[in-house]
């Protein structure tokens, strides 16, 4: 019988999730209900897609903080274009356009990082401000409530829906399937393709990767296009589910998303990260964002709690690794 490895981030985050659920269930009898479960699943869709993309960047040894700006740009530009043209495009046409716009903006990051070899944090901080400023200055800053018919149709598509015995309505939109597809696709790329091994390799050591013949530029370029495309998908899903395109939406989610990925065990230095860990990190962040009130904690404490979790999630493994080195040496 294998023993539980308490040095792994995934194990620690899973225990915190269980403890948080137990505390929330004790504080409120309404927590352990189908309605709450479906609300949590629904709220994990956008942040989950963001986190999977950011995980890929961290594994490659970089960091991207511009994904929310890319997402808002792709979401708003797609909606405004379709509304202005008056074209009756099905939902998958709108999704394809948003993914393409996100991929193009991600490629701009890739050019600066892979071609000009500039630091990833500096580049994505710059493009975060540039994309957001360009959107509000030249594209538009007014809320669009008459979204195209295809997006409205998608918002009504439900995988599951029903009513509890107490009369509470619950539903799970088909947008959740997009998260599942993104998870499966990213898992396949990382663990079943040569490209995935190259992403892990350049995250471990760029110089070593070059010496063994890996095309570092092409791999980094792909990573930033991929995370841009995922951001575009997350943005159009957000607008479709809300049935409104607001250019100010999604701003400020960067901290929560990066926290989820880091809590899940992805190293900021690159070379390591797991899909399971990232999903556990997303589950914990979504629980914190949605359940603090049940525990009697004001919602204004969300940032404090997330900051503490980041410190614990990165500090405890670092302390354990230091003790292990001291014992060995």
241 vs 10, which has greater pLDDT? 241
- Residues 242-280 as b/e (b if ≥16 CB within 10 A, e otherwise) read eebbbbebbeebbebbbbbbbbbbbbeebbebbbebbbb
Q: How much is the pLDDT for 63?
A: 94
Give the pLDDT mean for 80-107. Answer: 94
pLDDT in tens, 192-245: 999 999 999 999 999 999 999 999 999 999 999 999 999 999 999 999 999 999
How distant is the alpha carbon of residue 169 from its chain centre?
Answer: 27
Residue 240 tokens read as 């479709």
Lowest mean pLDDT among 21-35, 240-254, 296-310: 296-310
How distant is the alpha carbon of residue 182 from its chain centre?
Answer: 10
Sequence-distant (≥ 6) Cβ neighbours of residue 50 within 8 angstroms: 67, 68, 71, 230, 231, 234, 253, 257
Q: How much is the pLDDT for 2?
A: 59
Measured between its terminal Cα atoms, the distance across the chain in Å is: 30
Q: How much is the pLDDT for 329?
A: 65
CA–CA distance, 96 with 260 (Å, rounded to integer): 27
The percentage of the chain sitting over the pLDDT mark of 90, rounded to a whole number, equals: 64
Lowest mean pLDDT among 184-188, 204-208, 263-267: 263-267
Question: Over 70: is that where the pLDDT of 4 sits?
Answer: no
Is residue 38 within 8 A of residue 176, CB to CB? The reply is no
pTM over 0.75: yes
Q: How many CB atoms lie within 10 A of CB 304?
A: 11
pLDDT in tens, 114-158: 999 999 999 999 999 999 999 999 999 999 999 999 999 999 999
List the beta bridge partners of residue 169: 163
Sequence-distant (≥ 6) Cβ neighbours of residue 211 within 8 angstroms: none
Residue 128 tokens read as 């975060």
Mean pLDDT of the chain: 90
pLDDT in tens, 269-292: 899 999 999 999 999 899 888 877
Backbone angles phi, psi at 298, to 5 degrees: -60, 145
pLDDT in tens, 147-173: 999 999 999 999 988 888 888 888 999
Q: How much is the pLDDT for 3?
A: 66
Question: Over 60: is that where the pLDDT of 1 sits?
Answer: no
Q: By C-alpha distance, which of 270, 251, 249, 248 is closest to 261?
A: 270
């Amino acid at each position: 019988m294998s023993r539980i490895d308490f040095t792994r981030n995934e194990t620690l985050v899973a225990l915190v999730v269980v403890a948080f659920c137990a505390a929330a269930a004790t504080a409120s009898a309404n927590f352990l209900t189908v309605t709450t479960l479906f609300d949590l699943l629904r709220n994990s869709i956008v942040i989950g897609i963001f986190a999977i993309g950011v995980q890929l960047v961290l594994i490659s040894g970089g960091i991207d903080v511009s994904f929310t700006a890319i997402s808002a740009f792709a979401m708003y530009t797609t909606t405004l274009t379709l509304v202005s043209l008056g074209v009756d495009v099905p939902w998958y046409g709108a999704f394809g356009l948003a993914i393409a716009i996100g991929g193009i903006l991600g490629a701009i990051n890739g050019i600066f990082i892979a071609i000009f070899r500039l630091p990833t944090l500096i580049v994505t901080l710059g493009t975060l401000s540039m994309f957001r400023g360009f959107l509000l200055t030249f594209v538009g800053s007014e809320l669009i409530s008459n979204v195209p018919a295809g997006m409205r149709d998608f918002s009504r598509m439900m995988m599951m829906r029903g009513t509890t015995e107490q009369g509470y309505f619950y539903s799970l939109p088909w947008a959740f399937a997009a998260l599942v597809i993104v998870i499966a696709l990213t898992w396949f790329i990382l663990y079943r393709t040569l490209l995935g091994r190259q992403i892990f390799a350049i995250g471990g050591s760029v110089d070593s990767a070059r010496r063994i013949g890996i095309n570092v530029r092409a791999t980094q370029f792909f990573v930033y296009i991929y995370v841009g495309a995922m951001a575009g998908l997350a943005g159009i899903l957000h607008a479709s589910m809300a049935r409104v395109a607001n250019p100010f939406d999604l701003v400020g989610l960067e901290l929560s998303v990066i926290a989820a990925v880091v809590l899940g065990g992805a190293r900021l230095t690159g070379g390591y990260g797991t899909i399971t860990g990232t999903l556990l990190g997303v589950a914990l962040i979504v629980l914190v964002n949605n359940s603090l009130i049940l525990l009697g904690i004001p919602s204004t404490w969300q940032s404090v709690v997330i900051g503490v979790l980041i410190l614990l999630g990165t500090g405890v493994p670092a302390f354990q690794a230091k003790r292990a080195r001291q014992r060995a040496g």
